[in-house]
Structure 1
Amino acid sequence: MRSLLCVPIAMLLATSTAHAVPDTRAGTEHVALRDVAEQRDATRAVHTARPFSVLGLTWDGAAPDDVEVRVRTGERWSAWTHLDPADSGRGTEPLWTGRTDTAEVRARRGAADVTDELRLVAIAPDPSPAPAPREGRGGGPAVVTRAEWGADEHLMTWPPQRTTTKAITVHHTAGTNDYACAQSAELVRGIFQYHAVELKWGDIGYHALVDKCGTVFEGRAGQPWDAADAGRGDVIGGHVAGFNRNTFGVAMMGNFDQVAPTPETVRAVARIAGWKLGQVGVPPDGRTTLTAEGAPRSKFPAGARVPLPTIFGHRDVSNTACPGQHGYEQLDAIRAAARQPAP
């Protein structure tokens, strides 16, 4: 299921290609699509100087109504994938592509082709797998720490601020489900690079990320994962603009518009939610009221008092399809499982 912001795309008019100039920062290349093809073309095709596995599209000014991308592996093209804008309004959500060096992009605002307003960001994270997650302490979930998945802490420029969790926000990372669990750490590194540097958030937006095998990756820096540290309070995330304060963001790694998250993912999200809400005495099947702070893609104006479940989906407060229709349909199962004590 696509976001309500999606509009039909015109038929491909023409394709042109260009080679990107490498940007040496963290294996990232940037391509201004206005330099790739004439403005009348509906599609821009890019061959990067080196392979990448994560991409995003960024822009200045107004967001397009619709952005689509596909990549080529060998002689085979992927299906066109719609990319939702990130809450910041500066770019799309990142997309896991697998190893490739060729992408095609098309974007529209209303009936107009605006592909030349975009920049393609091609990221080549370290492909090394992460070690198995360490056992949680104090009833917390087993988690792959930032040090273990290889966060480049030089990129972390966001000063942690403290808050008290009142609710869990469930996301999906969108893009594709076509990754192996051994590649999950590579995907997390790519998301970190894209959020922290390309979207200028200063860190990864989510507090935790969960892959299709149920492995939990530590997200936002400064978040207490051990019961002994819980008294410090949680850190404010960057996952749901307008409602980052008092919420803990968990992202299911994959796209759940058309398929459901795996049982392993659902169980891991429920365990995180139950553990985190249990620390502050909030029932996982309860209700709370949050105050909107205002944001470009928020459904609510600044100052609005918004009643919400204590475990809710990103789409409940933002103009997005996240966490996908099939991901959203799992929220009741997550709430029910989160009520149960961890085994």
Structure 2
Amino acid sequence: MSPAPVAGAASAAPAAGPAVAARPVLRLQVDPGATVRSLEVLAAEARAPRATSSYSMVGLTWRGTDPTLRVRSRGPEGWRPWREAEVLADGAAGEGTPGLRATELLWMDRSDGVQVDVDGSGHRGLRLVLIDPGVRAEDRAAATPSSGTTQRVAPASGRAPQPELISRQRWGADPSWRNGKPRYNAGIRQVVVHHTASGNDYTRADVPGILRGMYRYHTQSLGWFDLGYNFVVDRFGRAWVGRSGGVGRPVRGAHALGFNHASVGISVIGNFEAAKPTNAAVTMVVRLAAWKLDRYGHDARGGVTVRSEGSDRYAAGRQVRLPVISGHRATNETACAGERLQARLPDVRTRAQARIERS
């Protein structure tokens, strides 16, 4: 894919592009027990254009003040436009490396060069993370709409049905990467909707690899127990099981710091600041939200008061009135779930409640 330029960013170099620095190629290494390859280096190694072995996902981590970060990649067509790397506002108390800050993981498509632009001071230890999630035979099968190992449960009488879910095994979650055990909430009071802020032009067959890359980044780079989101939805309207612990149980995620104890996290793969989410993706969010909320007796169109456990938006102990179905920006200082997906949430609430009432 060729990502759209960032508003206000410098124009991309022509296809020929600048020459890469005359330094050794940055080579990714295979992660133990996985098809995923990765590399973590100081970002200073890529302040000038740098040749790499093949990769398709980029993230950055640091400590201290948040800098403004842009990244560009080199593909078969040459150097692509600069892209801003959005600061990650997800997380959970008790998970992750203390004090570590990070960007969302960007989907860059197949690339063999990288350059990082940094603006700001007060940060330290800025590191570049390159990930190649690899390709498995099972990934190629995902190009077929009906393919995939799904998890189903018998519908409970009078309850909104569980939608079809594609299992963790199907996307290649390596259980050895998990750090600890699942934690469970007393119940689900809220659905928090996210976007991954990554990229929009991925194919069906790309999705398992995108999930493996996110899983590797969340667990190995950030130190989280597991993938942060409970469920992930792609632009084709398919729902994938994210965090482990049981799809029908109130598993505590790492998606809305300060509010994970009362919510379930659903993330749509893509960046919806300018691009519209597909109708198929929105419909799946409706189905997931109705299924989860109906089991705890909540009106999808209503509000709920939640006690914050401490976020960058609400101090610990504060009682916060929130929509039962909200975008991530309701609980944390972030643009997530993107303007165009955020705008669809009133429709999601109405349709989810109608689905609950029909059951």
Of 304, 310, 334, 1:320 maps to: 334
Q: CA offsets, 1:257-310, max 9 Å, x none?
A: 001100000000010000000111111111101111113xx2111111000000
1:240/1:318 contact within 8 Å kept = yes
CA–CA distance in 2 between the matches of 1:24 and 1:142?
32
Aligned counterpart, 1:29: 39
Contact in 1 for aligned 2:328/2:337 (Cα 8 Å):
yes
1:85-104, aligned counterparts within 5 Å?
Answer: 85-87=87-89, 88=91, 90-104=101-115
Residue in structure 2 matched with residue 54 of structure 1 by the alignment: 57
* Offset of residue 44 of structure 1: 3.5
1:156-205 deviation per Cα after TM superposition (whole angstroms, max 9, x unaligned): 11321110110000000012102112211111111111111111112100
Distance 1:117 1:235 in 2: 33
Partner of 1:230: none
Q: Identify the residue that residue 86 of structure 2 maps to in structure 1.
A: 84
Tell me the residue number matched to 1:105.
116
Any conservation in 2 of the 1:260–1:326 contact (CA below 8 Å)? Answer: yes
SS at match of 2:102: coil
The AA in structure 2 aligned to 1:82 is E
**Match in the other structure for 1:193:** 216
Give the gaps of 5 or more residues in structure 2: 1-5, 13-17, 92-99, 156-160
Q: Deviations over 1:94-127 (max 9, x none)?
A: 0111111212211212xx597x852111111132
Q: What RMSD, in angstroms, separates the aligned Cα atoms of the two structures?
A: 2.5
Secondary structure class of the residue paired with 1:341 = helix
SS at 2:309's partner residue? coil
1:241 corresponds in structure 2 to 257
Structure 1: stretches of 5+ with no match in the other structure: 1-5, 37-42, 226-232
Q: Percent identity?
A: 32
Letter in 1 for 2:49: A
TM-score by length of 1: 0.85
| Number of residue pairs aligned between Structure 1 and Structure 2 | 317
Specify the SS of the correspondent of 2:354.
coil
Q: Where do residues 1-343 of structure 1 align in structure 2 (5 Å cutoff)?
A: 17=21, 18=23, 19-25=25-31, 26-36=36-46, 43-48=47-52, 50-64=53-67, 66-87=68-89, 88=91, 90-109=101-120, 117-128=125-136, 129=139, 130=142, 131-134=147-150, 136-137=152-153, 138=155, 139-163=161-185, 164-225=187-248, 233-295=249-311, 298-341=312-355
For 1:44, give the aligned amino acid: A
Deviations 1:135-166 (A, max 9, x none): 63222110111011110111011321110110
Query: 2:331, 2:49 → 1: CA distance?
Result: 35
Distance 1:108 1:11, change over 3 A: farther
**Taking structure 1 as reference, are residues 134 and 16 closer, same or farther at Cα in structure 2, changes over 3 Å only?**
closer
Amino acid at match of 1:259: A
Q: Identify if the C-alpha distance between structure 1 residues 46 and 293 changes in structure 2 by more than 3 Å, giving closer, same or farther.
A: farther
Matched-pair contact (CA < 8 Å) for 2:11–2:82: no
Shift of 1:76: 2.8
Match of 2:97 in 1: none
In structure 2, give the amino acid aligned to 1:45: P
- TM-score, L = length of structure 2: 0.82
